[in-house]
Amino acid sequence: MINKVRKRAVTIHVSDNNGDRLQGVEINVKQVSKDFPFGSAIAKTILGNVVYQNWFVERFNAAVFENELKWYATEPHPGQINYTIADEMLEFVRVNRIITRGHNIFWEDPKYTPEWVRNLAGPQLESAVSARIQSLMSRYREEFIHWDVSNEMLHFDFYERRLGPNATLRFFQMAHESDPLATLFMNEFNVVETCSDANSTVDNYISTLRGLRRGGVSMDGVGLEGHFKEPNLPLMRAILDKLGTLKLPMWLTEVDISSTLGDEAQAIHLEEVLREGFSHPSVNGIMLWTALHPNGCYEMCLTDANFRNLPAGDVVDNLLGEWRTKEVDGKTDEHGSYSFEGFLGEYEVTIKRGDQTANSTFALCQGVETRHVTILL
């Protein structure tokens, strides 16, 4: 399935200026970027840490800030808004052309709601949430590809209990008005991880999403956290299949494996989950929840503190290599053509015949037809 979903056939034609095809031309093809977003959470610990930064950039083309955009981090006390850390992290991903998810605007779990917000109600709370959206979204308009608007709303309902049943609906509406180009996501745990959580069944997820859309919300993304213990792959596949019928962007947003299993078991199950996600045609991106701190990671680390791979890190590195087109060398055939199959992404091509050389680039996007590229020599 990976070959069908994530790769595409290419035929490179080489012609002279008269349009005649040239046989025996040497061709070298290199993939320079990947189409599929695969990344990890990062934290403020990456700032100023050149070794961590280089390690991250060598592997990932996508990121999400673990905690630094959350309300409790940016406004721990009323009116004392500080985006300094988030700004510095944003500069890092900008410089390295890493796409980044916005996580999150609100968190429905009162435990992770600022203490001063928990003490508000009625008009005061309405004013605070409006100011939060306006401040955050105006500052970072068009910077983040996604926003998790109301995190874990199937399990918690802090704002609905305080502001009424349409609170989340208004959050999505205000977020869309503030940043209409960002894709707005539901983000939830225990949807693909298990079938034993009554709050987050796939049917409940779909029902809630459709209810928001009926309310006029531009709610365009399916976020599945993916905090697994022992993954049930047939269940995961069936749920992805069902959510895929919505025809919306779907991401695994916070993938890790429980630390209770130990390093080797984590690695085994991580590979299972990543292969299942990458091979599913409806999954548009995968994020790991592996931001590194001095005391470790949330549940699963890829490396130790010195950036030596742990077993899970070996899995990631091996898959990154496997899911990238190896450098291709060949010669055009009697028809002046050379064909191969490559992973989706951007490519550089060098062709050579005698002392003649030409360079070109092309992008390989999703499609069932062979991609044809013509280069003049």
Which residues have a catalytic role annotated?
Answer: 152, 254
**What sign has the CA pseudo-torsion 289, 293, 299, 300?**
positive
Distance CA 135, CA 115 (A): 19
* Cβ-based neighbour number of residue 189 at 10 Å: 22
